[in-house]
Amino acid sequence: MKDKIEISATIVIFKEDIDTLQKTINCFLNTPLLKKLYLVDNSPTNELKDTFKHPEVGYIFNGKNLGFGCAHNLIIPKLNSDFHLILNPDVIFDSQVLPNLISELKRQENISMISPQLLSNDGTLQYTSRKTPSFLELIFRRMGVLKKYTRKREYRDRDLSKPFSPDFIHGCFMLFKTNDFIEVNGFDERYFLYMEDADICRKIKHMGKEILYYPHQEITHNHRRGSSKNIRLLFYHLTSSIKYFQKWSN
């Protein structure tokens, strides 16, 4: 067993823009903690194998696209950290964000996962805290109707400058207590893409623990909204939604 580290992280990559990915990697490596980052590559080729050589970075090439949750789960047997970060390849954050989030996790015993406030590149707030997904909500969002209803599902009717425990938080930046991430068996691999973040938050709550939206720390996320632009991603979103509602209908 290797010496225990403070924080591990995984970034699942698939045909990523190198410059954008490098910025995210640098943000993690600039964090003043004992750490390890795993790059799990779902791309068709391993051309990035020698791109990010660093003693605190490990590279895993899958040879095929395993999906988001399955790829993140690959590193569970390797984890020897106190905290584990699920990180998207398009996120920018200050070197003190992770230490500050970890301090809050240590302070609150019943919190299993914490996520900061997310801002777009133009500084506008991204509403990443959501209520438990409903079938009608997904339909209304897709059709762009009844926005008053969908906005309430994003907790826009409360003060989002204060921490609270939402039903779920979008999965681009999720900092877990490693033992809790392992206890819920990571992500449900039935979802190829989408809904795995809502699912894992629900699993945490069924474990008797909580998640925390913590706006006293902020990061920048280049949210690409892929399923609204790509028919294949839309298909993944719809099939994952069906699996989610079937799983939790009872």
Q: What share of the chain is helix, strand, coil (3-state, %, to 5)?
A: 35, 25, 40
pLDDT the model gives residue 224: 63
Instruction: Determine the average pLDDT of the residues in 223-244.
Output: 76
User: Closest by alpha carbon to 187, among 170, 205, 200, 173?
Assistant: 200
Rounded CA-CA distance 158/146 in Å is 19
pLDDT at residue 185 tops 70: yes
Q: Which residue has the higher pLDDT, 143 or 119?
A: 119
pLDDT at residue 226 tops 50: no
Write the pLDDT tens digit of every residue in 121-174: 999 999 999 999 988 887 887 777 778 888 899 999 999 999 999 999 999 999
Average pLDDT, the chain: 93
Rounded CA-CA distance 132/139 in Å is 14
Q: Which residue type does 191 have?
A: Y
Domain ranges of the chain: 5-248
This prediction has a pTM of 0.93
Torsions phi, psi for 248 (to 5 deg): -100, 10
CATH topology of domain 5-248: Spore Coat Polysaccharide Biosynthesis Protein SpsA; Chain A (3.90.550)
pLDDT the model gives residue 146: 78
Instruction: Determine the average pLDDT of the residues in 19-39.
Output: 97
The encoded tokens of residue 239 equal 């099939």
